Amino acid sequence: MNEKMALMQQLLLEIPKGKVTTYKELAHAMGTRGYRFVGQLLNKNPEPNAFPCYKVVSSGGDLGGFAYGDAEKIERLKVDGIVVKRGKIVDFEKKLHRF
Domain parsing of the chain, residue ranges: 2-93
What is d(CA 50, CA 47) in angstroms, rounded to the nearest whole number?
Answer: 5
Q: Catalytic site residue 73? A: no
In the CATH scheme, what is the code of domain 2-93?
1.10.10.10
Question: Which is catalytic among the residues 8, 12, 53, 77?
Answer: 53
Residue 17's pLDDT is 96
Q: What is the mean pLDDT of each run of 10 residues along the chain (99 residues)?
A: 89 97 97 91 90 96 93 96 97 97
What is d(CA 90, CA 13) in angstroms, rounded to the nearest whole number?
Answer: 22
Helix (H, G, I), strand (E, B) or coil at 9: helix
Residue 79's pLDDT is 96
Residue 1's pLDDT is 60
Residue 46's pLDDT is 86
